[in-house]
DNA sequence: AAAAAACTTGTAAACGATTACATTTGAATT
DNA sequence: AATTCAAATGTAATCGTTTACAAGTTTTTT
């Protein structure tokens, strides 16, 4: 509350002058209070108050050789699947003083190069990547900031935070089986995607263990989007011999699938049971409410953020991955098949 | 492609040495190519290539007194409503060389102070705010970076990019009227929210113009969330004298409303017609597909980004607001009322 | 052909912090 | 009392750019 209006923003020099100490002492009082005497600290704080001093991050970053922010590379920012994860990320980064920088890799024609440039530019102290296709081992410079994958993963030494996708698929299939289904189909994620593959494989393996056939015509290719669910519905409708249940690799596809089926006059779940994956918010409000595999998205974001900050603090470029458990959420989209 | 591995990252000095020019020339060749001779530029570019030089943003920002990023202040990052807008923002910011910094104002116990600190800290060259409650005139320092509101707005001189909410409400009500409805209810957004208020007022005015009663017990208070839609459904169910149609101030509430009604055995749209607001992706896949007012979210993000960049370039702190038109999307959730 | 204008380029001073190293002071140890 | 040690502070270099100013070339104008 101390008086004159600042023409220019105060700098550390001004604080030092007012407090009657050197700039070094001000800096220490601010970022390492234990190093200065109690009385000095007080004087500095008062001077800060009086001058309205605010640290200049660009200057600090330059000197400290850091950026103070973490970069999140999202394949498609418009996809609401990421919003919860980003919220989780933000919730741990923010209190720790990190900024959250977000980039959409999809809008880019050369995301690989973009990643490289982000790394090299030193724009971020750490990077969280949501797209397993993005980083390639040979693209990574020998020296790079900590990188962690979230949801997806890669086959070299970048750590990741993810759920046990195969397990999720297994739980889903088992649930369908327990409800009497023996004819089970699947809508996959995009081919080649690690997530899609492990859900597909988890499904196939479980089917085999249960002694059930894996029928090729019951596997519909999707890309996680609602529209691809709609497209799968068309294929399902065209089938002579239909599966009585379909496990979808994403809730979005399940939503599109159910919607298109219902619009075509099919009764879900009585004509076909559906299980999703992710437990996005909306599916509880669908009719029927969707039975799905919960993926704790907020938690994934939080852990990824924590992991990348730990790596920064420890100065390491790699660490152990983390697998977060999945869980079946039973709702109304699964019933016993008609006989 | 030029040979030795860099022990340390090259700096502008190194480039200058290799190219045989001064650092000033390198800087100019890079950021203002027109100022240097063709031949020199070439030499510099070659030297950049050879040394693997990357600009150090912290240094540049310090010197230029800018941050190179735009801050988006989102009330709740977990809300998928914002993802499209952020995607739009990102799509214009990124090509222009701006980073997109995102902060969730909800996780914060004192967002006002946080906003102030963001402004004062100079962490961003411009700010996009999605929460009309956030900025208060007296909180803004006399000198602040360009700020634009998106979706919401304030009653002082900050510009905004938004849709015509009252008009949207009017279109929705008129549509219901045209389909024969005379008993129309509403689920509001959170009280005091500018958006919620103008949609409510738009609705009331239209009702009056049409000579219809505004019945208090048919106005349900919500907060845009699906859960509040569910809650409104309970109230609707408890009514003796029910409206035959409900206009919801958000698609999320419409989704929760329809879902809860259907779970309770009510037939939508035959027992009650529903109109939403926003046209979020999922509503087209609901059963019945939701009739709604489209709010072009991606576009809003793009325009907000453009606006803030223009303000930065022009060095102004204010400019004219922009109203983006809304549009009725007719689907299946509105039919004539039962007689 | 001299003067003026237009290009190029270099020199060196910022930008605003942090921190290694040096110095001072006072307390603790021998 | 002399020595050692720790705590508190100051001095000044440094982080890597950009850019005002000056100076040296050409080119254009008169």
Of B54, B58, B262, Cβ closest to residue A62: B58
Note the CATH architecture for domain B67-163+297-325: 3-Layer(aba) Sandwich (3.40)
Please tell me the total number of residues recorded for chain B in this structure. 339
Mean pLDDT on A195-212: 97
Distance CA A44, CA A25 (A): 8
- Mark yes or no for CB contact A103/B90 under 8 Å: yes
Q: Which residue has the higher pLDDT, A162 or A338?
A: A162
pLDDT digits (tens, 9 = 90+) for B236-294: 999 999 999 999 999 999 999 999 999 999 999 999 999 999 999 999 999 999 999 99
The pLDDT value recorded for residue B7 is 53
CATH superfamily of A66-163+297-325: Response regulator (3.40.50.2300)
* Cβ neighbours, 10 Å, residue B227: 17
A289 touches chain B (CB under 8 A): yes
The pLDDT value recorded for residue A64 is 94
Closest CA in chain B for residue A297: B78
Q: How far is the CA of B59 from the C1' of D18 (A)?
A: 9
- Mark yes or no for CB contact A104/B94 under 8 Å: yes
- Mark yes or no for CB contact A102/B102 under 8 Å: yes
**Residue B242, CA distances (Å) to A91, B32, B190, B231, B245 in order:** 42, 68, 22, 15, 9
Of A62, A260, A298, Cβ closest to residue B62: A62
B57 touches chain A (CB under 8 A): yes
The pLDDT value recorded for residue A140 is 87
Of A83, A99, A117, Cβ closest to residue B79: A83
Angle at A93 between CA A89 and CA A99, to 5 degrees: 105
The pLDDT value recorded for residue A7 is 53
**Annotated domain spans of chain A:** 12-55, 66-163+297-325, 165-296
B281 touches chain A (CB under 8 A): yes
Low-confidence spans in chain B with pLDDT less than 50: 1-6
Distance CA B176, CA B123 (A): 48
Beta bridge partners of residue B72, listed in sequence order = B102, B128
The pLDDT value recorded for residue A139 is 86
- Please give the nucleotide, over all strands, whose C1' is closest to the CA of residue B64: D18
Strand D bases contacted by the protein (CB, 7 Å) = 7-12, 14-20
| pLDDT band, residue A80 (cuts 50/70/90) | confident
Residue A115 has pLDDT above 90, yes or no: no
Distance CA B84, CA B132 (A): 19
**Cβ neighbours of B100 in A, within 8 Å:** 101-103
Q: How far is the CA of B43 from the C1' of C18 (A)?
A: 35
* E strand map for chain B: 69-74, 99-104, 126-129, 147-150, 160-163, 184-187, 219-220, 245-248, 273-278, 291-294, 322-324, 327-329
Distance CA B97, CA B112 (A): 28
Supply the DSSP symbol for A134.
Answer: S
The pLDDT value recorded for residue B150 is 97
pLDDT digits (tens, 9 = 90+) for A7-48: 578 999 999 999 999 999 999 999 999 999 999 999 999 999
- Mark yes or no for CB contact A255/B83 under 8 Å: no
Domains A12-55 and A165-296 share a fold: no
For residue B323, give every residue at least 6 positions away whose Cβ sits within 8 Å of its Cβ, in sequence order, or none: B162, B163, B164
Q: What are phi and psi of B113, to 5 degrees?
A: -65, -35
Structure tokens belonging to residue B111: 């967002």
* Cβ neighbours, 10 Å, residue B196: 22
Structure tokens belonging to residue B208: 């009056």
| pLDDT band, residue A3 (cuts 50/70/90) | very low
By percentage, how much of chain A surpasses pLDDT 70? Answer: 98
Burial class (CB in 10 A: 0-12, 13-18, 19+), B180: middle
Mean pLDDT on A62-69: 94
Specify the fold of A165-296: Rossmann fold (3.40.50)
The pLDDT value recorded for residue A205 is 97
What residues of chain B, 126 to 145, have a C-beta less than 8 Å from chain A?
A: 142
From edge to edge, which strands make up the β-sheet containing B99-104?
A322-324, A160-163, A147-150, A126-129, A69-74, A99-104, B99-104, B69-74, B126-129, B147-150, B160-163, B322-324
**Cβ neighbours of A125 in B, within 8 Å:** none
**Cβ neighbours of A58 in B, within 8 Å:** 58, 61-62, 65, 67, 122
Distance CA B86, CA B180 (A): 39
pLDDT digits (tens, 9 = 90+) for A145-188: 999 999 999 999 999 999 999 999 999 999 999 999 999 999 99
Cβ < 7 Å from nucleic strand D: A 20-25, 28, 35-40, 59, 62-63, 65; B 8-9, 11-13, 23-24, 26-28, 30-32, 53-56, 59-60, 62-64
What class does CATH assign to B12-55? mainly alpha
Strand C bases contacted by the protein (CB, 7 Å) = 7-12, 14-20
- Mark yes or no for CB contact A58/B62 under 8 Å: yes
Element (H, E) at B115: helix B111-121
CATH superfamily of B165-295: Response regulator (3.40.50.2300)
Instruction: Decide: helix, strand or coil at residue A17.
Output: helix
Instruction: Decide: helix, strand or coil at residue A231.
Output: helix
Please tell me the total number of residues recorded for chain A in this structure. 339
For tokens 């169910």, the residue is B237
The pLDDT value recorded for residue B141 is 85
Long-range interactions of A115-118: CB distance < 8 A, separation 24+: A115/A73, A115/A139, A116/A141, A117/B54, A118/A71, A118/A73
């Amino acid at each position: 509350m101390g008086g004159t209006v600042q023409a220019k923003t105060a700098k550390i020099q001004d604080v030092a002058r007012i407090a009657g100490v050197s700039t070094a002492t001000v800096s220490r009082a601010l970022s390492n209070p234990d190093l200065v005497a109690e009385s000095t600290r007080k004087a500095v704080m008062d001077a800060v108050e009086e001058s309205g001093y605010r640290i200049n991050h660009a200057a600090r970053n330059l000197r400290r050789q850091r950026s103070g922010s973490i970069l999140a590379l999202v394949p498609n920012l418009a996809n609401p699947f990421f919003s919860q994860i980003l919220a989780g990320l933000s919730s741990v980064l923010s209190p720790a003083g990190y900024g959250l920088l977000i980039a959409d890799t999809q809008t880019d024609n050369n995301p690989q190069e973009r990643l490289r440039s982000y790394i090299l530019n030193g724009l971020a102290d750490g990077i969280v990547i949501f797209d397993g296709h993005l980083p390639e081992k040979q693209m990574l410079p020998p020296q790079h900031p900590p990188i962690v994958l979230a949801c997806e993963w890669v086959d070299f030494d970048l750590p990741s935070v993810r759920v046990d996708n195969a397990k999720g698929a297994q739980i889903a299939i088992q649930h369908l089986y327990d409800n009497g289904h023996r004819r089970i189909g699947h809508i996959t994620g995009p081919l080649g995607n690690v997530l899609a593959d492990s859900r597909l494989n988890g499904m196939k393996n479980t089917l085999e263990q249960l002694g059930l056939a894996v029928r090729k015509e019951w596997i519909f290719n999707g890309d996680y989007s609602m529209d691809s669910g709609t497209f799968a519905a068309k294929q399902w409708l065209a089938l002579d011999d239909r599966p009585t249940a379909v496990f979808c690799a994403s809730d979005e596809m399940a939503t599109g699938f159910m919607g298109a089926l219902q619009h075509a006059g099919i009764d879900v779940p009585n004509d076909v049971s559906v299980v999703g994956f992710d437990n996005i918010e909306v599916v509880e409000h669908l009719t029927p409410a969707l039975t799905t595999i919960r993926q704790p998205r907020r938690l994934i974001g939080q852990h990824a953020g924590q992991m990348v900050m730990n790596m920064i603090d420890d100065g390491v470029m790699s660490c152990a991955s983390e697998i977060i458990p999945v869980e079946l959420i039973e709702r109304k989209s699964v019933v016993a098949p008609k006989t």
